[in-house]
Amino acid sequence: MKTVISTLSPSSNFGVNTPPIAPSVRLTQPPSTCSPVLRFPSLSVPVAAMDNGAGPSLYPLHRCKTLHLVRHAQGIHNVDGDKNYKAYLSPEYFDAHLTPLGWQQVDNLRKHVHASGLLKKIDLVITSPLLRTMQTAVGVFGGEGYTDRMDLLPLMVANAGNSGRSAISSLNCPPIIAVELCREHLGVHPCDKRRNISDYQFLFPAVDFSLIESDEDVLWQANVRETKEEVAARGMKFMNWLWTRKEKEIAIVTHSGFLFHTLTAFGNDCHPSVKIEICKHFANCELRSMVIVDRSMTGSDLPTTNYPGKIPPGPDLPSDVFNENSSEK
C-alpha cells in the first residue's frame, strides 16, 4: 500500500525543514487479490473493503494529530472582492485587516472554543503571518484583556491594524507561532502581501516569529502569482512539516485558497460526501476539526498511553495460537 500524494518541491522552503515523505494519509489502495470475509450472525464485511474506505479505519493513536483548521474572519478585501474579483488587485487592500463584522465573527468563534472546551485541548496555534490571520488567531485563541505587566508581553497591542480593540493578553492561552508555509496564494494581489516582520513584532509582541527567515516579504511578487498546483504543493510541504512538531492537537489559522487547494488532495478514498466535507470552501471564521495519520513512520512520537503488559511476566499463549500450532503438527 502506498500513498499517492505527490510532494512537489517549491523553490523556497519558507524557513522550515520538512521531511521528504508526504503526509501519510491514505488516498487510494490497490485492490487485494484475496478478500477474506468476517462472518457474524447478520453481517458479512470484506476486510479489503474496509481498507478501501468502505468501512472504518484503525490507526495507532500516537501516529495521529488533530488539526483545527480556521479560515480568517472577514477582511476589508473580502467585502468588495465578493462583488468584484478585480477589487483584490487594489493597493488599498495591502495586507488587509479585519472589518468590524470580522471582529464580531472572531468574538463568536472565541465563545465557541471556550464553551466547547476546545481551547484547553490545543497545544499550539499556527498562524499565517498576515494581519487578518494574526488578528483572528489572537482574538480567538488568545488570553483575556491585557493589563500592563513588565514580565508578560501582550499577544496584540491596542488598536493593532486599526482594530479599535483593546490589547490581548498572552496569559492562559496556547503559544502562537507564525509560519510562512500556510500563507494565501502568493503574488499579484496586494491583500496577500505581508508587512515587514519587525512591524508585526511591534503589533503582536508575544507571537513567535522565529521561524520566518526574512524581515521583508521576499515571497510575494507583483507580476507573478502562484499556480494552484504550487499552492497545493506548498500545502503538502506544510502538512509534512507538522510531523516534525511534538504537539498533538494544533489549531491552524490560514486562508480560503490555501485550505481549498491543500485539502483537495485528501479524501479520495472516502465516501463522496466525506470528500466534500473535507474539501469544500471555508466560510470566514469557520473552524473545521480533522485528523491526519502518519502511515509512513514520518513522525517519531512514542505512545504515551500504551502499556506493554506482562508485568510481572508469565505464560500467556492465546488459545487461538495454540490451536494453530497444534493443527500444523
Report whether pLDDT(312) > 60.
yes
CA distance to 82, 98, 180, per residue, from 78 (Å) = 6, 9, 21
Query: Which tens digit of pLDDT belongs to each residue from 153-181?
Result: 999 999 999 899 999 999 999 999 999 99
Which grid coordinates are listed for 297? 513512520
Say if pTM beats, i.e. exceeds, 0.85. Answer: no
Among the listed residues 71, 72, 82, 90, the one whose alpha carbon sits nearest the alpha carbon of residue 190: 90
Catalytic residue chosen out of the listed positions 68, 180, 184, 226: 184
Residue 68 annotated in active site:
no
Query: Which tens digit of pLDDT belongs to each residue from 60-108?
Result: 898 899 999 999 999 999 998 888 888 899 999 999 999 999 999 999 9
The DSSP bridge pattern shows strands 176-178 and 124-127 to be parallel
CA distance to 26, 139, 142, 155, 200, per residue, from 206 (Å) = 37, 13, 10, 5, 10
Report whether pLDDT(318) > 60.
yes
Residue 72 annotated in active site:
yes
Q: Are the CB atoms for 179 and 210 separated by under 8 Å?
A: no
Q: Report how far residue 93's alpha carbon sits from residue 74's, in angstroms, rounded to the nearest whole number.
A: 13
Among the listed residues 82, 76, 84, the one whose alpha carbon sits nearest the alpha carbon of residue 102: 76
